[in-house]
Amino acid sequence: MQQLLKTGVPDKELIQKFVFPEGRKRPLAVIECFQEIPCDPCVGACPTNAITMENISALPVLDPEKCIGCARCVSACPGLAIFMVLPSKGLVWMPHEFTPIPKRGDAVLALDREGNVVCQGKVRAVMNAKNKRATTVVCVEVPPEFVMDVRAIWPIEDQEFVKQEL
């Protein structure tokens, strides 16, 4: 928790608690919300009640069996603290607040939680924000071993160059 409090970047031991269920075929939400703050849009956004909280300041709890992988919570979280992953396909869904919004097929730099470049990725889908309180969600394909490291993207200006490299 020390690093989180100092820098806003979650400590490794907090992240390592997440386990993707063996044999699961659907994407699964990853909630990286570790501070007890009065906030709960993730609970209301979930169509299957997969996210619950004991009270408004408690940490959200995910029931993987109820998660259908719709990414609504990713878009609804004002703290940009929810992601979605499908490790078997190397897919990571993440909130994206920067402009220009990337397009499907764009090559991008995939960054970790501290903004370091992890690898190159390819944008597979873009879900535009439906209202002012929502955030655009971008789905990026990266090498599967990096789905729990990649948490943001940065555009690559020379798309033609990168297409040749990928």
Q: Does 144 bind ligand SF4 (CB under 6 A)?
A: no
d(CA 13, CA 30): 15
d(CA 124, CA 138): 8
Q: Does 29 bind ligand SF4 (CB under 6 A)?
A: yes
Distance of CA 121 to the CA centre of its chain: 14
Give the containing element (helix H, strand E) for 61: strand 61-62
d(CA 17, CA 38): 23
Q: Does 147 bind ligand SF4 (CB under 6 A)?
A: no
The window from 12-20, 66-74, 124-132, 153-161 that contacts ligand SF4 (CB under 6 A) reads 66-74
Q: Report the relative pairing of strands 136-141 and 117-127 from DSSP bridges.
A: antiparallel
d(CA 4, CA 92): 22
Nearest approach, Cβ of residue 60 and ligand SF4 (Å): 5
Q: Does 46 bind ligand SF4 (CB under 6 A)?
A: yes
Neighbours of 131 (CB within 10 A): 7
For Cα atoms 20, 25, 27, give the angle at the middle one, nearest 5 degrees.
Answer: 60
The binder of ligand SF4 chosen from 30, 71, 85, 92 (CB under 6 A): 71
Q: Does 70 bind ligand SF4 (CB under 6 A)?
A: yes
The binder of ligand SF4 chosen from 30, 81, 123, 152 (CB under 6 A): 81
Residue 41 or residue 102: which is nearer to ligand SF4 going by CB? 41
Nearest approach, Cβ of residue 159 and ligand SF4 (Å): 30
The binder of ligand SF4 chosen from 73, 91, 94, 152 (CB under 6 A): 73
Positions in the binding site for ligand SF4 (CB under 6 A):
29, 31, 33, 39-42, 45-46, 48, 50-51, 60, 62, 67-73, 77-79, 81-82, 84
